[in-house]
């Protein structure tokens, strides 16, 4: 099963992806976490991604595609996976389809987690990651609206998209997502 967790920064994709990966026994990939650890380790990808991540900009599609391809080739991803934070652009969505179809797979579910902007900003300010300052948050939300949200239409047309309400306890939101997957 291939599941894409979709939604703006701060809707809880990372938290939900971890819980779902555990419950469903499948692998989980967060491109944001992959970039943060690459930056920490100062790998070539990390050095390249650094300025984009700290300014809340999207890392270029070809760099993202390379790390996703490496993940998807790992044996633990053969059974299925939960993608968190990818795809974020139309080019990435098309690339993902190509990468999956190369191994005979397709996306089973795109779950869009919906949270209003003010709640998102409050949550992210509390989280306090390096890219969680208010001006950077607003920029990330703007990029989400302009570049990522149009994918809702793309996946809506494919018939794989379901939206869930993302305000509530972690367990409540998790139940809503599990209901979509069952």
The distance of Cα 163 from the centroid of its chain, to the nearest Å, equals 15
3-class DSSP assignment, residue 66:
helix
Q: Is 32 in the site for ligand AMP (CB under 6 A)?
A: yes
Q: Is 7 in the site for ligand AMP (CB under 6 A)?
A: no
Q: Give the whole-angstrom CA distance, residue 142 versus residue 149.
A: 10
Q: Between residues 129 and 179, which has the closer beta carbon with respect to ligand AMP?
A: 129
3-class DSSP assignment, residue 56:
coil
Q: Between residues 26 and 144, which has the closer beta carbon with respect to ligand AMP?
A: 144
Q: Which of residues 120-159 bind ligand AMP (CB under 6 A)?
A: 131, 140
Q: Between residues 12 and 85, which has the closer beta carbon with respect to ligand AMP?
A: 85
Q: Between residues 30 and 175, which has the closer beta carbon with respect to ligand AMP?
A: 30
Q: Is 52 in the site for ligand AMP (CB under 6 A)?
A: yes
Q: Give the whole-angstrom CA distance, residue 84 versus residue 17.
A: 7
Q: How many residues does the chain have?
A: 182
Closest CA to 65 of 26, 97, 113, 43: 97
| N-to-C CA span, the chain | 11
Q: Is 58 in the site for ligand AMP (CB under 6 A)?
A: yes
Residues of this chain that bind ligand AMP (CB under 6 A): 9, 31-32, 35, 52-53, 56-59, 64, 85-86, 88, 92, 131, 140
């Amino acid at each position: 099963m291939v599941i894409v967790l979709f939604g703006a920064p701060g809707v809880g994709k990372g938290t939900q992806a971890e819980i779902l990966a555990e419950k469903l026994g499948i692998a989980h990939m967060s491109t944001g976490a992959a970039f943060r650890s690459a930056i920490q380790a100062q790998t070539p990808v990390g050095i390249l991604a650094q300025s984009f991540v700290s300014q809340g900009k999207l890392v270029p599609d070809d760099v993202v595609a390379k790390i996703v391809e490496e993940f998807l080739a790992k044996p633990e991803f053969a059974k299925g996976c939960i993608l968190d934070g990818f795809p974020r652009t139309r080019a990435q969505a098309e690339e993902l389809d190509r990468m999956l179809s190369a191994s005979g797979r397709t996306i089973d579910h795109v779950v869009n987690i919906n949270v209003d902007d003010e709640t998102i900003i409050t949550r992210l300010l509390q989280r306090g990651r390096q890219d969680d300052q208010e001006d950077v948050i607003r920029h990330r939300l703007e990029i989400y609206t302009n570049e990522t949200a149009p994918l809702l239409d793309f996946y809506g047309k494919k018939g794989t998209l379901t939206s869930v309400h993302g305000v509530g306890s972690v367990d409540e939101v998790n139940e809503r997502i599990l209901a979509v997957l069952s």
